[in-house]
């Protein structure tokens, strides 16, 4: 029985409160697997963030500071949860997926700020929460293994009814 069949049988005003028709599919299976591999993802992602962020921090370091380095950077033990996925219909030359994501993490991030006069200032970030939409675009589709040429990913932030898009292309 499809959603349309259900709507023909019973009008929406008679649906019980627990009945929800959504375009997004649940991802319980993905969350179970992500929880298992999270320690490894955490280690790799933490190192990637450290190696990417430290040169940028160094580039924008003030002259009164002698260094900006992470003494600790871990995303913690809590894996993000994907609450839904949908495929955006459209261009036949690519596939666009949107994954709803929630993360109420327990990271431990300590940035050591050292001044030229020898004073050290540790700055710590503890609890971070994130809710958003993670968009993946696989385009162009090709006839060789992996079957796509580039993956573009974005984090979509909702600001009123406007979505801001931050993206990065990965060549596969």
Domain regions of the chain by residue span: 22-171
Backbone φ/ψ region at 116: left (φ over 0), alpha (ψ -120 to 50), beta: alpha
The pLDDT, as a whole number, for residue 90 is 74
The pLDDT, as a whole number, for residue 166 is 43
Q: Which residue has the tokens 């627990």?
A: 18
The pLDDT, as a whole number, for residue 147 is 84
Please tell me whether residue 55 adopts helix, strand or coil conformation.
Answer: helix
pTM value is: 0.66
Which residues fall within 8 angstroms of residue 24, CB to CB, at 6 or more apart? 83, 84, 85, 86, 100
Question: Over the chain (172 residues), what is each successive 10-residue block's mean pLDDT?
Answer: 72 69 75 96 95 93 92 94 86 87 91 91 87 88 86 72 43 42
Backbone φ/ψ region at 160: left (φ over 0), alpha (ψ -120 to 50), beta: left
The pLDDT, as a whole number, for residue 74 is 95
The pLDDT, as a whole number, for residue 69 is 93
Neighbouring-strand partners of residue 137: 96, 152
DSSP 172: -
The pLDDT, as a whole number, for residue 114 is 93
DSSP 57: H
């Amino acid at each position: 029985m499809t959603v349309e069949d259900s709507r023909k049988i019973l009008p929406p005003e008679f649906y019980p409160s627990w009945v929800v028709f959504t375009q997004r599919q649940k991802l319980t299976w993905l969350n179970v697997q992500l929880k298992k591999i999270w320690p490894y993802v955490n280690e790799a992602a933490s190192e990637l963030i450290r190696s990417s962020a430290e040169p940028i921090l160094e580039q924008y370091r003030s002259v009164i500071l002698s260094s900006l380095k992470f003494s600790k950077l871990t995303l913690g033990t809590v894996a993000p949860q994907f609450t839904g996925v949908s495929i955006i219909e459209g261009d036949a030359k690519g596939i666009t997926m949107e994954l709803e994501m929630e993360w109420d993490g327990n990271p431990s991030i300590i940035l050591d700020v050292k001044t030229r006069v020898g004073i050290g200032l540790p700055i710590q970030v503890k609890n971070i929460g994130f809710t958003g939409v993670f968009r993946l675009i696989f385009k162009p589709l090709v006839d060789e293994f992996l079957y796509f040429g580039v993956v573009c990913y974005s984090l979509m932030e909702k600001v009123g009814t406007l979505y801001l898009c931050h993206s990065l292309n990965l060549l596969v």
